C-alpha cells in the first residue's frame, strides 16, 4: 500500500506487532483489547547514550462488526471528494449491494510512562507481566514515537484483517449475510429493529435511527413506525 506522506509510510513499515492478543475480534459482541505501545524516544536521535523507552498504555474497544454495502458507505457524510470517488468505484466494481464488514473502534488512552532500559528489555518485562496476569486480550506494539497513533492504527487494521474470515463464517452460518429483494442484509434489518426499540425506550435519539434508515434507503418503509414512536414519546 502506498501513502502520499513519506513519514506515514515510514511509520507503517517500522511498526511491529510483538505480541498479538490470543483471541480475534468477537463476531457478536464488543472486544476490549489492552495494549502497550513501545517506542524509542524521539530525543534518542540527538542523545546517543539514551537507554529509555516510551510506553503508552491504553485499550482499544472494538464494537460488534456490522454488515454494510458500498451503497450504505456512500451515504456517510464528511468524506472528501477523493473518498467519494473511491466509493463510486466500489459501486461500479462490486455493485451497490455487495456485503462487507464495517469495524468501528475507539481508543481509550491510559497514559504514558518513560521506562528505564532498552526497548527490548522493557518488552521482556511487559511480556512477563502479561503472562503473570493471564489476560488473553493484551497486545504489545513497537511503533514510531512521533507517529505512534499511526502505529496503533496499523495494529487495529491487522486485528480486523485477522478476524474477518472467522467473523464472516459465523455471520453466514446464521444467515445474516442474506439479502432481501431490495439488497439489504438481514443483519441490517435486525439492527434497525434494535434501534427502533432503543428509540421507543428513550435510550438513543430518534435522529440516530433516522440516519441509519436513510443510509439504507429504508425510511419510507419504516416511516409509519418511526412517527408512531415519536408520537408515543410525546
Residue 93 lies in a domain: no
In a domain, 31, yes or no: yes
Q: Enter the C-alpha cell of residue 162.
A: 485477522
Tens digit of pLDDT for each residue in 123-167? 999 999 999 999 999 999 999 998 898 899 899 989 998 999 999
Q: How does 29-52 read in b/e, with b if 16+ C-beta sit within 10 Å? A: eebebbbbbbbbeeebeeeeeeeb
Q: Are 105 and 113 in contact (CB under 8 A)?
A: no
Assess whether 43 and 141 both reside in one domain.
yes
Prediction pTM value = 0.78
Same domain, 196 and 159: no
Q: Give the β-pairing of 138-142 and 31-39.
A: parallel
Residues 137, 113 share a domain: yes
CA dist., res. 89 & res. 83, Å (int): 10
Q: Is residue 79 part of a domain?
A: no
Q: Is the domain of 219 the same as that of 111?
A: no
Quick one: which of 222, 158, 231 has its CA closest to 196?
Answer: 222
Which residue range is the domain that position 222 belongs to?
186-233
pLDDT in tens, 4-55: 468 888 888 999 999 999 999 999 999 999 999 999 988 766 666 768 999 9
Give backbone dihedrals phi and psi of 199, rounded to 5 degrees, phi first: -65, -45
Q: Per the domain annotation, does 73 fall within a domain? A: no
Q: What angle do CA 81, 87, 90 make, to 5 degrees?
A: 145
The residue from 122, 152, 173 where one domain ends is 173
Amino acid at each position: 500500500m502506498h501513502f502520499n506522506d513519506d513519514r506515514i509510510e515510514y511509520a507503517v513499515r517500522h511498526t511491529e506487532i510483538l505480541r498479538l492478543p490470543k483471541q480475534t475480534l468477537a463476531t457478536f459482541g464488543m472486544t476490549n483489547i489492552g495494549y502497550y505501545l513501545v517506542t524509542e524516544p524521539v530525543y534518542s536521535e540527538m542523545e546517543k547514550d539514551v537507554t529509555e523507552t516510551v510506553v503508552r498504555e491504553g485499550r482499544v474497544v472494538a464494537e460488534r462488526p456490522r454488515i454494510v454495502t458500498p451503497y450504505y458507505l456512500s451515504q456517510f457524510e464528511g468524506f472528501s471528494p477523493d473518498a467519494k470517488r473511491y466509493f463510486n468505484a466500489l459501486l461500479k466494481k462490486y455493485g451497490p449491494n455487495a456485503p462487507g464488514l464495517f469495524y468501528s473502534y475507539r481508543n481509550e488512552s491510559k497514559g504514558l510512562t518513560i521506562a528505564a532500559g532498552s526497548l527490548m528489555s522493557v518488552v521482556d518485562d511487559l511480556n512477563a507481566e502479561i503472562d503473570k496476569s493471564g489476560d488473553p486480550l493484551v497486545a504489545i506494539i513497537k511503533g514510531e514515537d512521533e507517529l505512534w497513533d499511526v502505529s496503533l492504527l496499523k495494529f487495529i487494521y491487522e486485528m480486523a484483517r485477522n478476524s474477518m474470515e472467522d467473523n464472516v463464517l459465523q455471520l453466514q452460518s446464521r444467515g445474516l449475510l442474506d439479502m432481501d429483494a431490495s439488497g439489504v442484509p438481514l443483519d441490517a434489518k435486525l439492527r434497525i429493529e434494535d434501534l427502533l426499540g432503543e428509540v421507543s425506550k428513550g435510550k438513543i435519539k430518534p435522529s440516530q435511527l433516522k440516519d441509519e434508515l436513510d443510509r439504507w434507503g429504508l425510511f419510507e418503509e419504516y416511516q409509519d413506525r418511526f412517527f408512531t414512536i415519536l408520537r408515543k414519546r410525546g
